[in-house]
Structure 1
Amino acid sequence: MPLTPETLTKHELVGLPVRVVSATNPDLVGIEGRVVSETMRTFTVESASRSWQVPKQGARFEFALTDEAAVSCEGTGTSSKLGSETAGVRSGQSGSCEGGAYVTVDGVTLLSRPALRTETGGNSKWR
């Protein structure tokens, strides 16, 4: 299954660029970098200068998809760029497809073991 804005939550998220667009803890809003680790309840986001442990509960994340995901998202979602104007975009919607797509996901939808989320989300040859 290709990585598209509609299938993002069913894929491995480690390695994707991410930004925290809203959170119950205001100190977390604006954190951006790459997801370097994911647990059942947290993401570890790393930038050039440091790493943050960000809880999924109570946060909204904006993931940037590029290359092949951007090609497949033409005609879907709403116009978006990394920034506060995307805070209202629902999970599964994509942003601007020129050079990349931006998908905002509520952290509650990602509250599960990453391996279980990816196993049940696609066509697995192990079933």
Structure 2
Amino acid sequence: MISSQNVLRHELIGLDVLVSGAANPLHKGISGRIIDETKNMLAIQTCRGIRRIPKMHSTFRVRLPGSELVEIDGSVMVLAPEKRISLHEKKRIP
């Protein structure tokens, strides 16, 4: 089950998100649902269309199932999603 401790090992597509901080002031405050993820970008479906936000230099507030909010520094997510998931899986402490 996805939680604040293992959020980086899970798929983010489908989760609600708010850009809580960004190097570009026009990106700050964008909210919606994550519909795609690449190595360097998150695609967010907003009420005004799709916005692509760079992960680097951005901070995201993600709502997990169960209404828990998690703040994620985008720089730790700058990897292809499949590599990010497997990388954190290998580093898991038993």
TM-score normalised by L of structure 2: 0.90
Aligned length: 90
Q: Which amino acid aligns with 1:111?
A: V
User: How large is the Cα RMSD of the aligned pairs?
Assistant: 1.3
3-state SS, counterpart of residue 26 of structure 2: helix
3-state SS, counterpart of residue 13 of structure 2: coil
Tell whether the 8 Å contact from 1:35 to 1:43 is kept in structure 2 after alignment.
yes
Deviations 1:71-114 (A, max 9, x none): xxxxxxxxxxxxxxxxxxxxxxxxxxxxx110001000000010
The question of 1:105 aligning with 2:72 is answered yes
2:4 corresponding residue in structure 1: 5
Question: Which consecutive unaligned segments of at least 5 residues does structure 1 have?
Answer: 68-99
Q: Which amino acid aligns with 1:18?
A: V
1:48 is displaced (CA, Å) by 2.7
3-state SS, counterpart of residue 72 of structure 2: strand
Hey, which of these two has a bigger chunk of strand by percent?
A: 2
Sequence identity, in percent? 28
1:122 is displaced (CA, Å) by 3.3
1:15 is displaced (CA, Å) by 0.6
The question of 1:38 aligning with 2:33 is answered no
1:94 corresponding residue in structure 2: none
Q: Hey, what's the Cα distance between the residues in 2 that align with 1:108 and 1:120?
A: 15
